[in-house]
């Protein structure tokens, strides 16, 4: 039987509104690593460093994107932008839309650090320099891409990220000292 021209029927389509190249590159590599590329499709919808813009774009496109096989995710970092992040998260929550959030504080670099049992980092600059020690190829400004082979302990990272989330006890993410909300998205991908 010839499958030429046959469209892949994905079990899940994830529409990602993210702040930079690092996040979408990591997620695409993770899908491949988990051997889910034939059942999970990532759609990069928007890259913009402003969390408020990302949230508003996701809300504006919600009606066009949301269906029974899709989810919409907004992925961004704290990066020291207290008021902007608070506003973005509040807009998202007040929208009432089924849009998921993968928020990281202090920054996305905390995620691969957790894979290496490093969880005592509280600022963006320290996280980036510690990550460059573990991943010599990683340079925040010149080569902002994670090497998954240097991220050995996924389960440990998920466990720590979950502990941080539980410690919030209902408080909003931006009130935490550290958050690695991307684990919610990676766990979703793993379970498909």
Please provide the DSSP assignment of 71-96 as one string: EEEEEEE-TT-HHHHHHHHHHHHHH-
The 10s digit of each residue's pLDDT in 80-92 is 899 999 999 999 9
Domain map of the chain by residue range? 12-107+154-191
Q: What is the share, in percent, of the chain residues with pLDDT greater than 90?
A: 84
Does the pTM exceed 0.85? Answer: yes
Contact of 105 with 177, CB cutoff 8 Å:
yes
Contact of 172 with 91, CB cutoff 8 Å:
no
What is the fold of 12-107+154-191?
A: Rossmann fold (3.40.50)
The 10s digit of each residue's pLDDT in 20-52 is 999 999 999 999 999 999 999 999 999 999 999
Q: Is the pLDDT of residue 177 over 80?
A: yes
């Amino acid at each position: 039987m010839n499958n030429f021209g046959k469209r892949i029927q994905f079990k899940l389509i994830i529409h990602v509104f993210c702040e930079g190249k690092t996040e979408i590159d990591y997620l695409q590599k993770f899908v491949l690593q988990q051997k889910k590329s034939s059942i999970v499709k990532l759609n990069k919808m928007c890259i913009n460093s402003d969390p408020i813009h990302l949230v508003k774009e996701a809300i504006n496109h919600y009606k066009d994107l949301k269906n029974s096989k899709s989810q919409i995710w907004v992925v961004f970092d704290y990066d020291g932008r207290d008021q902007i992040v608070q506003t973005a998260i509040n807009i998202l929550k007040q929208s009432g839309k089924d849009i998921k959030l993968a928020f990281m504080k202090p920054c996305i670099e905390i995620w691969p650090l957790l894979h290496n049992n490093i969880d005592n980092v509280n600022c963006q600059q320290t996280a980036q320099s510690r990550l460059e020690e573990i991943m010599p190829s990683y340079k925040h400004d010149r080569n902002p891409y994670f090497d998954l082979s240097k991220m050995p302990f996924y389960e440990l990272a998920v466990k720590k990220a979950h502990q941080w989330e539980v410690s919030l006890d209902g408080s909003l993410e931006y009130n935490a000292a550290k958050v690695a909300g991307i684990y919610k998205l990676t766990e979703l991908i793993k379970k498909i």
